[in-house]
Amino acid sequence: MTAACDLSVSLGPLRLANPVVLASGTAGYGRELGAALPLSALGAIVVKGVAPEPWPGNPGPRVVETPAGLVNSIGLENPGLDHFLAHDLPWLRSVGATVIVNVVGRTADDYVKVAGRLAAEPGVAALELNVSCPNVEAGCEFGHDPKLAAGLVARVKEANPAPLFVKLSPNAPDPLAVAEAVLGAGADGLTLMNTYLALAIDVRRRRPLLPGVTGGLSGPAVKPLTLRWIWEAAERFRAPIIGTGGAATVEDVVEFLLAGASAVGIGSATFARPDAAWRIAEALPEALARLGFATAAEAVGAAHGRGAGAGIPRG
C-alpha cells in the first residue's frame, strides 16, 4: 500500500488504520473471507449479528439476485454468543483483525446480555447495535421508535462502555429522529444504512421468490439512497458515520467519505469478489492523493462546501 496518503481515521473514541471495513452480514465471522484477504489490513470487520442464543434464521431460498443488487432474507441466523466467544473471537484476535461486534436481540435484555458479556472480552474494538434488520420482527421496533431506541442505547452503554454505533433502518418512519435519539442517549456514532425493503417475483409461478415475500435490497442499486442519508446525517449531527450500502469500488468509497462518512462498509461486493475490500484499501491512498488530500480524514465531509479537505468535525 502506497504511503501517498495517511488513511487513519477517528470515529469518536475509535481509531481505525483505514476507513475500509467489512459490513456486517456479508463477511460472516471472518473465516469465510480470511483466505481471500488479510483481515488485519482493513480498518475493521463488523461481524455477523451475535445474539444471546443461536438463531436458525429464515427458511430458504434466502437470496435473490436483481439488477444491480441482491434481495436477501437471512433472518439474522447466528450460532449465538457462547459459540462466538469460544470459536470466532479468539480466531479473529489471532489474525490481528479489528473487531466490531454487531449485536442483535429479540428484547432489550437480549442486547444488554450480549453487550455485558462482551465487556469482559479482549479484542472487541466496538459494538454495532443492529435495530434495523427488515427480515425479522424481533428487534425492529427499536429502530422505528426513537424513545425505545434511546432507552436501549442507554442500557447497552451502561452494560458496556465500548464505542457504540447504532445501525439504522431506511425503512423507519423517520430515521434521523431515531439517529438524534440514540446519539442523545450516548451512542458514539451511526451506521447508515441497513438494507432497503424490497420484493422480487417469480413470473412463472406468479409468486414472490422469497418465502417471507419481502427482503432487504443491497448492492450498487442502493448507493445513491445511502449517500443521501449520509449527507443528511452529516449536515444535522456532529457524530461519526459508518456508511454502508452500495459501495463496491474505490471511487464509491471516496464518494462516501466526501458525503460525510468516516468509514465505509463493503458488503455485497464481496460476494462477487471476496477480496474487494482489500483491493479498495490498497487503491485508496492514490485515489485520495490524486484529489489533493494528504489524509483520509481531510476527505470526510469535504463535499459539504466547507472548503476543500475541511471535513466535518467528529467527536
Cβ atoms < 10 Å from Cβ of 16: 23
Using the predicted structure, report yes or no on whether residue 242 has a pLDDT greater than 80. Answer: yes
Question: Model confidence over 153-167: pLDDT tens digits?
Answer: 999 999 999 999 999
Report phi then psi at 280, rounded to 5. -65, -45
The Cα–Cα gap between 275 and 165 comes to 25
How is residue 290 written as a grid cell? 490524486
Quote the DSSP letter at residue 86. I
Say which DSSP state 146 is in.
Answer: H
Distance CA 263, CA 256 (A): 8
**Nearest one of 107, 113, 124 to 44, comparing CA atoms:** 124
Q: Provide mean pLDDT across the span 175-193.
A: 98
Contact 15, 253 (CB under 8 A): no
Which of 124, 133, 193, 227 is the catalytic position? 133
The DSSP bridge partners found for residue 69 are: 66
Query: Is 80 exceeded by the pLDDT of residue 307?
Result: no
Tell me if 21 sits within 8 A of 264, measured CB to CB: yes
* Single-letter residue type at 92: L
Domain architecture of the chain: domains with CATH: 9-57+76-196+219-304 (3.20.20.70)
Q: How far apart are CA 22 and CA 265, in angstroms?
A: 5
Question: Any catalytic annotation for residue 140?
Answer: no
pLDDT confidence bin for 48, thresholds 50/70/90: very high
Average pLDDT, the chain: 93
